[in-house]
Amino acid sequence: MSEEIIDSRFLQTCDVSIGEFRLDPCTMVIFGGAGDLSRKKLLPSVFRLFKDNELSDGFSLLGFGRKDLNDDTYRAMMEEEVKAYGEELYNEGSWREFSKRLFFLSGTFEEDGNYEKLREKIDGISTPDGEGNRNVIYYLSVPPQVVPLLMEKMTYHNLCRGLFSTKIIVEKPFGSDLPSSVRLNKILTDAFHEEQIYRIDHYLGKEPVQNIIFLRFSNTIFEQIWSRLFVDNVQITVAEAIGIEGRGGFYEQTGVVRDIVQNHMLQILGFIAMEPPVGFRADFIRDEKVKILRSLRPMSFDHIDRFTVRGQYGRGMVHDANVRGYREEEGVNASSQVPTYCAGKFYIDNLRWAGVPFYLRTGKRLKKRVTEICIQLKRLPLRLFGRTCDSMEPNVLVLTIQPDEKISLRFNVKYPHANNQIYSTRMLFSYREAFKTAEHPAYERLLLDCMRGDLTPFVRQDEVDAMWEIVDPIIQRWDEIIPEKFPNYAAGTWGPHEAHLLLEQEDRCWITS
């Protein structure tokens, strides 16, 4: 007899297909609209959305910053940036149409008169929606130290909640530790309500990250095995082959834990480990993630000393080219102690995951660029096939986020003809082959979600706080004790020897696909 399938009582919230969704007119105001992020990521992403017909007819974009630009020179500047992407993105006809929606306001954020000009400019270029509201999205693409000033001025000039119907997108970093994150949040929430604030972590715009909850909660096979009963360990790897790309000043202040672990890695861990949400709504999903982050076992200094590994790259070979060590990079102190690599063992103290180690590792100048989650299952308790069982590989589910978006499952089969010979093989699902898509551009997806008012792929403040609570002790302990032998891994390798020992001492090893 088939079992009854019950509808979620919140089903209607996820039942609107994208095709049916009509976006209201809106104006996106980018503070720092001529800065690096705007030129390299934001404008190209908005242009692609325009080309794909995803924007509303009443869409306009206003860059605001102190570069000496006007509407025409801003359009010309951005055209060059988009052209640099090649024919895949640039198209003269589309650009001509799109550029009519681009505007620039030149001036400093300090000067009060500029906010009056800003209001007038928004009034001039925005299109009211059916109810007469002017929808405005502010994008803070500015250095973090500028944010308090902006919030103060925008509040004073009634730009946050009064004149327009507004949302605000905030870029990381969300502080540099828990106290500074709390202070920043107070400044933001004095100006905007929490539901107006879209904290961006571009990893959450990646299709395979969003797919984690679909994979988990729509498949009987995965839903059933997803716990300490079947899982031996979970590994999350965020490996970069690139170095610090000329951002020495930034990296010296940041280091690997603040740059990658505190945000991207802990967010991925949240999706992997969370309980099913009560419905498919932003806050239900964020509630579950925050429960996981709060269930992570606080790390004592003893645990940090024994079960975390830090590293810094020296010279080496990446993709057949000689590369400099971290201390030789521009803007980096010649005796810098800043870590570019981190590995660690974490535990989630809840009923589902009690006792299952979660191993995280990330670093710059590693052997290759890959972001991957490996879920290794427990071995079967019976050696049925004699000696061949000694070499039998455990089942591993691998979710690859980048560079290829794919899922693979490792399992064992009988090798043909041979006696009792076991052969490890895998089933592979590739997004690109199945759906004929390229790597999905995260910023486009996130900008659209913000326009639609969907907060699901954005981070709530209690998540940010919980993530700082986890990493602050690691940063503090590492700051206290000077590393003995930095640099301790050569560029182009898989990181320090100690990171391998971390797993080997527990009879495990890092899995790489």
Ligand X SMILES: NC(=O)c1ccc[n+]([C@@H]2O[C@H](COP(=O)([O-])OP(=O)(O)OC[C@H]3O[C@@H](n4cnc5c(N)ncnc54)[C@H](OP(=O)(O)O)[C@@H]3O)[C@@H](O)[C@H]2O)c1
Smallest distance, ligand X to C-beta of residue 245, A: 9
* Contact flag: residue 171 with ligand X (CB under 6 A): yes
What residues numbered 47-76 form the site for ligand X, per CB under 6 A? Answer: 65-67
List the catalytic residues: 264
Q: Which of 109, 271, 307, 431 binds ligand X (CB under 6 A)?
A: 109
State which residue, 254 or 408, has the beta carbon closest to ligand X: 254
Q: Which of 8, 10, 117, 146 binds ligand X (CB under 6 A)?
A: 146
- Residue/partner pairs of 226-232 with CB below 8 Å, 24 or more apart: 226/352, 226/375, 227/352, 227/353, 228/352, 228/353, 228/354, 228/355, 228/356, 230/377, 230/378, 231/356, 231/375, 231/376, 231/377, 231/378, 232/356, 232/376, 232/377, 232/378, 232/379, 232/394, 232/508
Smallest distance, ligand X to C-beta of residue 141, A: 5
* Contact flag: residue 35 with ligand X (CB under 6 A): yes
Q: Which of 8, 56, 129, 144 binds ligand X (CB under 6 A)?
A: 144
Q: Which of 21, 36, 380, 505 binds ligand X (CB under 6 A)?
A: 36
Write the CA distances from 129 to 19, 99, 196, 373, integer angstroms.
19, 22, 18, 43
Smallest distance, ligand X to C-beta of residue 150, A: 8
35 Cβ contact list (under 8 Å, min separation 6)? 65, 141, 142
Burial class (CB in 10 A: 0-12, 13-18, 19+), 131: exposed
Q: Which of 26, 29, 34, 46 binds ligand X (CB under 6 A)?
A: 34
Smallest distance, ligand X to C-beta of residue 109, A: 4
Smallest distance, ligand X to C-beta of residue 202, A: 7
* Contact flag: residue 143 with ligand X (CB under 6 A): yes
First to last CA, the chain: 41
Find the part of the chain contacting ligand X (CB under 6 A) among 73-81, 105-113, 207-215, 497-505: 105-113
Spell out, one character per residue from 406 to 425, where the chain touches ligand X: x when CB under 6 A holds, - when not.
--------------------
Smallest distance, ligand X to C-beta of residue 4, A: 47
- The amino acid sitting at 397 is L
Residue nearest to ligand X (CB): 35
Alpha carbon 412 to chain centroid, angstroms = 33
* Contact flag: residue 108 with ligand X (CB under 6 A): yes
* Contact flag: residue 157 with ligand X (CB under 6 A): no
Percentages of the chain per state (helix, strand, coil), in multiples of 5? 40, 20, 40
Please give the Cα distance from 153 to 140 (Å, whole number).
Answer: 14
* Contact flag: residue 201 with ligand X (CB under 6 A): no
Q: Which residues bind ligand X (CB under 6 A)?
A: 32, 34-37, 40, 65-67, 108-110, 141-144, 146, 171-172
